Amino acid sequence: MNPLMNIAVLLAGKPKIVHSIAGRLRVNISGVRQFPDYAKKYADTFTAILERRAGITSVSLCLITGNLLVVYDAKKTDEKSIMNWIAAAWKIFAAAIASPSAAEEEEAATVDAIRKKLEKLK
């Protein structure tokens, strides 16, 4: 892995809150627009795992704008917890983007490895 590339990807794609009210959070992940092939490849895994977290009602990611809409039960989770998870998830994706796999078999293994890492996030 190229450490400079990893830092560049981390900074370029850093998640930022666009709008927030209790129970609804819109986050822009600019890395989604900057790395559309990776975003498309990992979007379903990312949103499915986020949606399974306690208190999350629904999740949708727009690959065109890079905006992520999270609807949640404010009694079960909060903005800070969700943003911490998204930021930690972005670090995992940034590492994958910074060191892409060439072979198709390796690519499938990478998607599976990322899914496992995301499921372990607290």
Give the neighbor-by-neighbor strand order of the sheet with 56-61.
15-21, 24-29, 67-72, 56-61
In the chain, where are the structural domains located?
3-120
The structure's pTM equals 0.80
- Domain 3-120, CATH: 3.30.1360
- Cα dihedral sign, 4-80-30-72: positive
pLDDT band at 65 (very low <50, low <70, confident <90, very high): very high
Task: Give the separation between CA 102 and CA 89, rounded to whole angstroms.
Answer: 22
Q: Which residues in the chain belong to E strands, given as ranges?
A: 15-21, 24-29, 56-61, 67-72
For 45, the 3-state DSSP assignment is helix
Q: Evaluate if residue 5 carries a pLDDT over 70.
A: no
For 101, the 3-state DSSP assignment is coil
Which pLDDT tens digit goes with each residue over 16-49? 999 999 999 999 998 888 888 888 888 998 899 9
pLDDT at residue number 80: 96
Placement of tokens 């590339």 in the chain: 5
